[in-house]
Amino acid sequence: MVEAFIIDEVTEELSASEKALEHTLDLMNQEQPVLLAYLFSENFEVFTEREREFLLFLSCVIWKSVFRTYGSQATVTETHLSVAEDHNWGLLEDNTARQFRERMTVFFDEHPAEEELLAFVEDAILDDEESPVTKEGREPIFVSLKSIVDCLLLPNLA
C-alpha cells in the first residue's frame, strides 16, 4: 500500500516547485504515456481550466507516489484504462447514496489497499474554499483518478 507519508511528501514536493511538477510530467510521459494522453483527452474539456490543472496535479501526485513506493509499473494500455473507468462508473451508478462521501464508500470497500490514495483524492476534491473542483466535477474527477489508481496498482484488471 502507498502510505500517507509518501503521498504527503510528494504533494509538498510538487506544490513547492513548478520545475518538480514539470519533471514529474516528463517522467510520467515516458513511463505512462497513455495516462498522460488520457488526462489531455477531450473527455476532460467539460471541466473548468482550474479543475483540469488540479486533475493533472493530483494525477502526478498519485503516479509519483506509486512510483516511489513500487518503482516502474507495467505500462497502462488504453484497454486497461477503459475497463477500469467503465467498472468505476458502474460502481457509482449502482450506488444509491446521496452524499458525496457516502457515494465514495463503495470504492474504499472494493480495494482496501488503495485506501490512502483514495482518501487523498476524496479530501482534495471536497467542497471547500481551497478546492478548485466544482460540485458537478467532483464525481467525474474522482472516477478518473480512481481509474488511474486501479491501472497502476491493479495491472490485471483488464
Q: For the chain, how many structural domains are there in total?
A: 1
> Helix 115-125 crosses helix 49-70 at what angle (to 10 degrees)?
160
The dihedral region occupied by 92, where left means phi > 0, alpha psi between -120 and 50, and beta the remainder, is: alpha
- Give the mean model confidence (pLDDT) for residues 90-114: 85
Q: What is the pLDDT of residue 111?
A: 76
Q: What is the pLDDT of residue 66?
A: 95
115 is a domain residue: yes
Query: Where do the H-state alpha helices sit in 1-154?
Result: 4-16, 18-31, 33-39, 49-70, 78-93, 100-110, 115-125, 135-153
Task: Determine the Cα–Cα distance for residues 155 and 103; give it in Å rounded to an integer.
Answer: 25
Question: What is the pTM assigned to this prediction?
Answer: 0.92
49 half-sphere exposure, CB direction, 13 A CA radius:
0
Q: Convert the pLDDT of each residue in 48-95 to its tens digit.
A: 999 999 999 999 999 999 999 999 888 999 999 999 999 999 998 888
Side chain identity at 60, as an amino acid letter? C
* Residues shown for the chain: 158
Task: Determine the Cα–Cα distance for residues 30 and 42; give it in Å rounded to an integer.
Answer: 21
pLDDT exceeds 60 at position 158: no
Q: What is the pLDDT of residue 127?
A: 66
109 is a domain residue: yes
pLDDT exceeds 60 at position 157: no
**3-state class (DSSP) for residue 122:** helix
100 is a domain residue: yes
pLDDT exceeds 70 at position 156: no
pLDDT exceeds 90 at position 126: no
55 half-sphere exposure, CB direction, 13 A CA radius:
30
158 is a domain residue: no
Task: Determine the Cα–Cα distance for residues 147 and 80; give it in Å rounded to an integer.
Answer: 9
- Give the mean model confidence (pLDDT) for residues 104-122: 88
Long-range contacts of 105-110 (CB under 8 A, 24+ apart): 107/142, 107/146
Q: Convert the pLDDT of each residue in 128-150 to its tens digit.
A: 777 899 889 999 999 999 999 99
112 is a domain residue: yes
Q: What is the pLDDT of residue 33?
A: 96
Q: Which domain holds residue 100?
A: 4-153
40 band by pLDDT with thresholds 50, 70 and 90: very high
Q: What is the pLDDT of residue 43?
A: 87
Q: Convert the pLDDT of each residue in 14-26 to its tens digit.
A: 999 999 999 999 9
